[in-house]
Amino acid sequence: MTESASKKAWTIFDAETGIGTRVVGEMPMFHPGRCRWCGSIYDGGKVEVTGRYSDCSVWKAPCCGNTADDRPQSWGGSFFPLTNAERRRLLPPGSSRGGEPS
Q: Is residue 82 one of the residues assigned to a domain?
A: yes
Please say if the pLDDT value at position 80 is more than 90. Answer: yes
* pTM score of the predicted model: 0.71
Residues in contact with 60: Cβ distance below 8 Å, sequence separation at least 6, in sequence order: 47, 48, 50, 66, 67, 68
Q: How many domains does the chain have?
A: 1
Q: Which domain holds residue 58?
A: 3-90
Q: What's the confidence (pLDDT) of residue 10?
A: 65
Judge whether 95 lies within some domain. no
Establish if 60 belongs to a structural domain: yes
pLDDT tens for 9-55 read 667 666 555 566 778 877 777 888 999 999 899 999 899 999 999 99
The answer to the question of residue 38 being in a domain is yes
